Structure 1
Amino acid sequence: MKGWGTRAVATTVATAAVMAGVGGLAPVHAQTSWLDGLVDGCPDLYVLGMQGTTESSPDAPVKVDTGMLSKIMGPMLDRARELGASVDRAYVPYPGSFGGLTPGGSRSYVASVTEGEQNLSRAAQKVLAQCPSAKLAVVGYSQGAHAASNFLRSVGTGSGVVPAGAVAAGALFGTPTRSPGSGLFPGTAQTSPSAVPGTTGDAVESLSSVSFSVPEGGGIGPVADLTEDYGSLAGRVSSWCQSGDLACDAPANAPIVRAVVNIAGQVEVGGDPFVAVATVGRALASTAFTTAVDVVNEDIAAPKNALEAVSIQPRKTISQRLAEASDPRATPPTGQDVTAALLKVGLIGLNAAVTVVKKVLTPETIAAVAAVGLANPAAAFGVLAAKTVGVLPELVPPATSQRLVRQAFQVVQNEIEANRDAFDLVAMTTVRNVAAEHGSYGSVPATAGGQAPTRFVASWLAAAAADLGDDPSSFTSTSVTSTTTTTTTRSTTPAVVPSTPSMTVASTPSEPAVTTTNSAPPEPTVLEQGGVSAAELN
């Protein structure tokens, strides 16, 4: 995406409230009773879903299909039943709030996303503890995708609560952690998912080819959360971003916008304006303090701490520093950093004061003040003032003044250039339908056949479950006496879909099918559903 208009800065907070979250690591004590009803069977693949803003809550049911992710879970269960695959799913509850700016709670995004990531970790550990042989898949949308992305990145880099080998797949929709210009499978040039390790990958490889254009922008979340790849999970984690979805397609050249969103994400409202003012004040104070320390230490040069030698040599723009400092995950300045900044400013001021004393309080000046006498203090003050004004050119010589003016103009120019996308009126049209684009993942085409991203992911997860169910030890060879060829058949496994009201257990071709209800017809076996050839199985 090329950019967006000036009005976008004013509406960034409201837009972000609808779309995405800001990460954080503040400790949150969440209720965990929902974990008791999480696992009611051990499928080959267990899918954990993280809903978007306002679509979840701390007490949201874990087995009810609602929100954007219901467009994945329902079709996935249907497709898994068709394939005879063993799969289950659950939604991980968390606040899903934006500091009271959206319905659903007053908790800030910092706390909300943090709790979501923590609950997802608990859910993953719970599933694997009860079903050690199961594999996990994680899907997330909007704010939920932020939490899911952080979880998947930690797993892929080896710092997560579960091993990377336990995760079969991940799918993110409109995630604010998307790295600018990132491909569909971050860290790779792939347009199709990799097979689950340890499987033949036949079912995954048979999926429809993907034709989905990714935008140039990046996620609107904190810089520290932007993810270029998912380590050892690369190729098995997809990141879907529709052009114009500001959550994942924010302008690359507008760091001041990111700073605004970061600060807004730390606000707690709760219906109390004083709480809102207090939390905004804390966020702004922390951001300003961190930025000031960095600017003094890194951008202001003063050889020998002399005022006349001061120059501005910015390594980063101020807006970039604000964006980084406003990140709730940012490391605050150390005591050494603060001391260095204060010492630099203090020494510059002290040297300037010493210069004034040396140049003003000379014997001649003291004599002139004495001549005026205490009878006329105003005249004596005038003498000192005149002497001080005469010293100013020595404190800040004309050459230094001209240099500082030029550098100040350069700082302003750098700020405009760094935030040029925030002033691009022509490109404003690309984000005029932010809400529509953010909610389009169940309707825009992602394959040549017109499958939406959500439907493709549903097919992908069902295929991954089918591949996981293809246990090589369950394959047997049967010779066909009428020919010289040998065909391979497979003993079928039950299609485990716990959420459905009735379930059919498919039998092997030599046995009659047994149904668990009186009304449901026998479910066809894998071989009866179109047949599986020896070439496909091998």
Structure 2
Amino acid sequence: MSRRRTIAAAIAASAALGVATGTTSSATAAAVPIGPGCPALYMLGVQGTGQSSPTADPLADTGVVGALIAPVMAAAPGLVQRSYIPYGAGFGGAVPGGGPEPYAVSVTDARRQLDAAAVQIAETCPSTLLAGIGYSQGAQAMSSFARDVGSGVGPVAPERVAGIALYAHPDRAEGAPIFPGRPGQTVPDPAPGTSGVAVSAVLMSNPPAGGGGIADGATSYGALAGRVADICTDGDLACSAPDRAAVLRVGAEIAAQADLRDPLAAIGSLNGLLSAALGEAWTTLVLNDFQAGGGNIDYLPQLPLAARLVDAADPRNPAPAPEEIGAAAARWDEITAIVAANPLGVLPKLTGQLAAAWGQLVSDNADLVDPAVWARFADTVARHNNYAVNGQLNSGIAWMVALAHDIAGGQP
């Protein structure tokens, strides 16, 4: 089994556990601190890369997420409780403070523990509503949770979630509004079962951010639409990557699976993952985009080459099965036989079709050679790291406080 398939299997297995049972055993994750008593609102935070660890204190208000949660605790005493998900927060060993595991494995572990925490709180405190705050890598885990909850296959029901705030989200959809699926909306939807009086006074404002997340997941939230906010600073490469930069996204997906602890390990790991991704893209392309038969061949792509490459590099997409690989090899043998039998009748048209596809691939990466585009990212590290100091957390703080008051007002 390839490393990429192993990662995809881990993600699928983790998700399947939650779907099949409606719960995730808290025995496999750290117990969530609850009490004294049950709050109106329980906030779960997932920190970014390098800002957590498996032994992190779940009550320590640190990092970007802590900079949002701590003021909420101070502003709504007795109404809110919080816990941070302790996980590796790794990027293949390349980021100080992060664990040695690849980014994709780290995100999967964060999601697993997030599910377990949500279930524990929901079972222990039936009247408590949940809120989630995620930053960077933590936002990717949190958005995965929100997507599944919103589609009805998550570890808790949608009506148990009051709001989700995402910052520097790598799966942000291209040009996504503050509330994905709700263009133009700036005020959050009320928490389920509340009047929403306090929340109606909250304005989630943020300057528009171009592009989309580097991970290209384009997550949607179903029943949670209007209760999930996606905040991004324009020029933050994590959530505001150039639109026409497919190769950049392929590289990010490959790096997310790699062992980056030292140069030699990184070279070998990246090379193996890239080779596997190219092979998988080729298999999918041959099976889906070539039509052969009756002495004729056409390249009629269902997806552009760029999309095929990005999909193949994404560890969340399963690798082709052995039977698909065999079918692609047989299809390619058929194609080469047709070309050999009638090169003058087949090649001119096929060459034109492939040239058009190559031109599209070049266009889909045009931003990579545009100096004006890259000038936008000259200070991308600062933009990614400054959510806690540039005022962008203020509306999220106000939102969480308002949620707590609305929920408490509706409780006996």
Q: TM-score, normalised by structure 1?
A: 0.68
Judged with a 3 Å threshold, the aligned counterparts in structure 2 of structure 1 residues 422 and 182 are, in CA distance, closer, same or farther, namely same
Aligned partner of 2:161 among 158, 167, 183:
167
Kept in 1, the 8 Å contact 2:168–2:231? The answer is yes
Q: Does 1:248 align with 2:239?
A: yes
Name 2:143's counterpart in structure 1.
149
Aligned partner of 2:221 among 230, 243, 247:
230
| In structure 1, C-alpha distance between the alignment counterparts of 2:337 and 2:173, rounded to whole Å | 46
| In structure 1, C-alpha distance between the alignment counterparts of 2:62 and 2:251, rounded to whole Å | 31
| In structure 2, C-alpha distance between the alignment counterparts of 1:206 and 1:396, rounded to whole Å | 70
Q: Cα RMSD between the aligned structures?
A: 2.6
Deviation at 1:414, TM superposition (A): 1.3
Kept in 2, the 8 Å contact 1:23–1:146? The answer is no
Equivalent AA in structure 2 for residue 283 of structure 1? L
Name 1:79's counterpart in structure 2.
75
Question: Superposed, which structure 2 residues align to 1:49-198 within 5 Å?
Answer: 49-81=45-77, 86-103=79-96, 104-189=98-183, 190-198=185-193
Name 1:396's counterpart in structure 2.
343
| In structure 1, C-alpha distance between the alignment counterparts of 2:26 and 2:128, rounded to whole Å | 26
Judged with a 3 Å threshold, the aligned counterparts in structure 2 of structure 1 residues 231 and 252 are, in CA distance, closer, same or farther, namely same
* Percent of aligned positions that are identical: 34
Aligned partner of 2:11 among 14, 22, 25:
25
Show CA shifts across 1:122-174 (max 9, x none): 11111122212111100000000000000011111100011111111110001
Task: State which structure, 1 or 2, has the greater radius of gyration over its C-alpha atoms.
Answer: 1
Aligned partner of 2:408 among 469, 481, 495:
469
Kept in 1, the 8 Å contact 2:339–2:347? The answer is no
Kept in 2, the 8 Å contact 1:254–1:419? The answer is yes
Judged with a 3 Å threshold, the aligned counterparts in structure 2 of structure 1 residues 409 and 77 are, in CA distance, closer, same or farther, namely same
Name 1:286's counterpart in structure 2.
276
Q: Structure 1, unaligned stretches of length 5 or more?
A: 1-21, 356-394, 445-451, 474-538
Kept in 1, the 8 Å contact 2:205–2:395? The answer is no
Deviation at 1:115, TM superposition (A): 0.2
Name 2:353's counterpart in structure 1.
407
Name 1:18's counterpart in structure 2.
none
Number of paired residues? 393
Q: Structure 2, unaligned stretches of length 5 or more?
A: 1-7, 15-24
| In structure 1, C-alpha distance between the alignment counterparts of 2:204 and 2:316, rounded to whole Å | 35
Kept in 2, the 8 Å contact 1:312–1:408? The answer is yes
Kept in 2, the 8 Å contact 1:300–1:312? The answer is yes
- The 3-state SS of whatever aligns with 2:233 is coil
| In structure 1, C-alpha distance between the alignment counterparts of 2:283 and 2:29, rounded to whole Å | 45
Higher relative contact order (CA 8 A, sep 6+): 1
Kept in 2, the 8 Å contact 1:23–1:109? The answer is no
Equivalent AA in structure 2 for residue 184 of structure 1? I
Aligned partner of 2:302 among 295, 315, 320:
315
Judged with a 3 Å threshold, the aligned counterparts in structure 2 of structure 1 residues 38 and 269 are, in CA distance, closer, same or farther, namely farther
| In structure 2, C-alpha distance between the alignment counterparts of 1:418 and 1:33, rounded to whole Å | 42
Q: Does 1:44 align with 2:40?
A: yes
Kept in 2, the 8 Å contact 1:31–1:58? The answer is no
Judged with a 3 Å threshold, the aligned counterparts in structure 2 of structure 1 residues 24 and 320 are, in CA distance, closer, same or farther, namely farther
Q: TM-score, normalised by structure 2?
A: 0.87
Deviation at 1:26, TM superposition (A): 6.5
Deviation at 1:272, TM superposition (A): 8.3
Aligned partner of 2:393 among 451, 454, 462:
454
Show CA shifts across 1:33-84 (max 9, x none): 6316455531111101000110001111000111011221121112114xxx
- The 3-state SS of whatever aligns with 1:319 is helix
Judged with a 3 Å threshold, the aligned counterparts in structure 2 of structure 1 residues 348 and 220 are, in CA distance, closer, same or farther, namely closer
Question: Superposed, which structure 2 residues align to 1:297-376 within 5 Å?
Answer: 297-304=287-294, 306=295, 309-350=296-337
Deviation at 1:31, TM superposition (A): 8.3
Q: Which segment is superposed worse, 146-155 or 425-434?
A: 425-434
